[in-house]
């Protein structure tokens, strides 16, 4: 059994760690609230654009825009992998990396190009010699729409230039504070099918034409969709970190209780031993 000084030092160390985890939980909770508000504000706009394009694209010639071009053979794929710069967020990063690596390996490592967003994905795939054509790090604390436009422009240029035939985005979607789901979403080319209620929209008269409307909306929608991916991922990261720090604080509390019990037992043993030694000494003198 450890002596009293060692147990006391362990208790002190665990209490110090618990203070850090509680502070990190509070910081993550504050960031999550702001990120969740931004994400929920962007969702309706992205959804409306998506519904409008979903009703228009099936009724026009897809050759008017390269973003709508379906390639017959997928020879090269671009995977956009969104993780965080920092850890201590439970399985937030590992889940994204695991699903992304599985998808890449199934399609073919030599036929896959990667855009890594976040230091965790960069370090993982660079260490394993995957082809990373672009990486974005150290921007999450100042996240804004300009970052989405920059990332979206680079992704679209790869597709339009013919370097890749399809673009997949692997990211965490925010479901609730306690649940985030990893999605492997197809980003390009845009593929839509007619809905049952499309006849109602097709009766509308568009000025300018449907083709011109689609030409204006598609670039805006793609940038907005990248922005949505980033917002979803950032909110999910903060929620995952908040829960991870809450669990760490709870585990630290349990550890402190166990160590305190060990300390009390060790102290009681030491007191009993001293009392026995005193009684034995007194009896020896008599």
For residue 64, the model assigns a pLDDT of 84
Name the H helices within 57-168: 92-107, 119-127, 145-160
What are the tens digits of pLDDT across the range 129-181?
999 999 999 999 899 999 999 999 999 999 999 999 999 999 999 999 889 99
pLDDT at residue 196 is higher than 70: no
Q: What is the distance between the alpha carbons of residues 52 and 214, in angstroms, rounded to a whole number?
A: 9
- C-beta contacts of 54-58 below 8 A and 24+ residues apart: 54/192, 54/193, 54/195, 55/194, 55/195, 55/198, 55/201, 55/202, 56/201, 56/210, 56/213, 56/214, 56/217, 57/190, 57/192, 57/214, 58/192, 58/193, 58/194, 58/198
For the chain, helix (H) and strand (E) counts, in that order, are 6, 5
Element (H, E) at 30: helix 4-56
- Give Cα separations from 223 to 80, 174, 232 (angstroms): 14, 19, 14
SS3 29: helix
For residue 167, the model assigns a pLDDT of 96
Residue 32's pLDDT band (cuts 50, 70, 90) = very high
For residue 202, the model assigns a pLDDT of 53
Q: Residue 179: which of 220, 240, 137 has the closest Cα?
A: 240
pLDDT at residue 37 is higher than 60: yes
pLDDT at residue 201 is higher than 70: no
What are the tens digits of pLDDT across the range 225-274?
999 999 999 999 999 999 999 999 999 999 999 999 998 988 888 888 88
For residue 144, the model assigns a pLDDT of 93
Q: Which CATH class is domain 42-244?
A: alpha beta
Give the mean pLDDT of the chain: 89
How large is the greatest C-alpha to C-alpha distance in the chain, in angstroms? 115
For residue 81, the model assigns a pLDDT of 97
SS3 154: helix
Instruction: Please say whether the beta carbons of 181 and 175 come within 8 A.
Output: yes
Q: What is the mean pLDDT of residues 36-57?
A: 89
Please state the domain extents for the chain.
42-244
For residue 200, the model assigns a pLDDT of 46
Most confident region among 87-91, 100-104, 205-209 by mean pLDDT: 100-104
Please state the pTM of the whole predicted model: 0.85
């Amino acid at each position: 059994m450890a002596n009293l000084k060692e147990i006391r030092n362990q208790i002190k160390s665990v209490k110090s760690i618990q203070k850090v985890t509680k502070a990190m939980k509070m910081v993550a909770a504050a960031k999550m609230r702001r990120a969740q508000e931004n994400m929920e504000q962007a969702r309706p706009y992205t959804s409306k654009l998506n519904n409008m394009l979903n009703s228009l694209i099936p009724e026009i010639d897809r050759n008017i825009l390269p973003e709508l071009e379906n390639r017959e053979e997928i020879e090269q794929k671009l995977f956009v992998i969104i993780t965080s710069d920092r850890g201590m967020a439970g399985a937030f990063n590992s889940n994204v990396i695991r699903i992304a690596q599985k998808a890449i390996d199934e399609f073919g490592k030599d036929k896959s190009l990667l855009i890594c967003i976040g230091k965790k994905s960069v370090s993982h795939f660079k260490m394993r010699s995957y082809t990373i054509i672009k990486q974005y790090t150290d921007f999450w604390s100042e996240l804004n729409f300009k970052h989405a436009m920059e990332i979206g422009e680079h992704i679209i240029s790869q597709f339009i230039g013919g370097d890749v035939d399809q673009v997949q985005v692997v990211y965490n979607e925010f479901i609730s504070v306690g649940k985030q789901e990893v999605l492997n979403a197809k980003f390009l080319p845009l593929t839509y099918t007619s809905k049952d209620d499309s006849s109602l929209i097709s009766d509308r008269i568009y000025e300018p034409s449907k083709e011109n409307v689609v030409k204006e909306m598609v670039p805006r929608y793609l940038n907005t969709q990248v922005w949505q991916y980033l917002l979803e991922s950032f909110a999910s990261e903060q929620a995952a970190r908040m829960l991870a720090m809450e669990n760490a604080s709870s585990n630290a509390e349990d550890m402190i209780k166990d160590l305190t019990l060990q300390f009390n037992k060790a102290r009681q043993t030491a007191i009993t031993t001293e009392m026995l030694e005193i009684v034995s000494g007194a009896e020896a003198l008599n």
